[in-house]
Amino acid sequence: MLILSQHYTRALRAVTFEIDKNKFQFVDILQKTPISIQTLLDCLDINAPSKKQKKERVKKWCSILEQSGLIISTNKGLLVDYPKYKQTLLDMDIQQKDMEIFKKHLFNAYSEIGKETGGIVDIADLREEVAVKMLRNNEAILTESQFDEMLRETPFATDDYIVSLGRPMGAEEKLFKYKGEYFRTLSIKRLKRE
């Protein structure tokens, strides 16, 4: 049970790292030298109605980074926890993921969710279900962007199946970007072998 708990902690750390990388880049800043919250505030451009709210947002995100284990608080300031950071980089390495395991979970999750939705599955639901399946089986940690990258690398038409994406939509959060367009849903048709 302890190993599973550590796996979940690593997953949380990977997701937190991905959010930080895409929105804040605190981990990048805190790699060089310990930095106080005030110094961090001075070097960040964060939109907030007031200085007090900016400080609260920075403190809250630093707290989340600390709880996930990516950073530590020392008497000199905040600093990246290098052993955990290095493990997170390994967990984030898409080359460490097995495409066949991903596809197995993708098709299983699609079948489970598709039963209730008439075969048209929300990609956000699929992301979550595939990530949970891979995590529970200790096969890999999978974040949203890793799921999207692996789905883009998956052939959409083979002798065994055809993957179809829903109508293109405008860009918004949680949509899947493929060949310059955004999609919310997909369906998979299994082809019968003769």
Q: pLDDT tens digits for 40-64? A: 887 777 777 888 888 898 999 999 9
**Could you tell me which residue, 32 or 103, shows the higher pLDDT?**
103
pTM of the model: 0.85
Overall average pLDDT of the 96-122 stretch: 95
* Domain of residue 132, residue span: 94-190
| Cβ 183 vs Cβ 123: under 8 Å | yes
Closest CA to 181 of 123, 111, 106: 123
* Res. 125: pLDDT tops 80: yes
The region of weakest confidence among 8-17, 52-61, 120-129, 180-189 is: 52-61
Clarify whether residues 108 and 85 are in a common domain.
no
Closest CA to 105 of 151, 153, 145: 151
Banded model confidence at residue 16, pLDDT cuts 50, 70, 90: very high
Clarify whether residues 145 and 171 are in a common domain.
yes
Overall average pLDDT of the 133-156 stretch: 94
Last residue of one domain, picked from the residues 69, 92, 115: 92
Reading phi first (left if > 0) and then psi (alpha if -120 to 50, else beta), residue 190 is in beta
Share the mean pLDDT of the chain: 90
Clarify whether residues 143 and 72 are in a common domain.
no
Last residue of one domain, picked from the residues 92, 126, 144: 92
* Res. 135: pLDDT tops 80: yes
Banded model confidence at residue 2, pLDDT cuts 50, 70, 90: very low
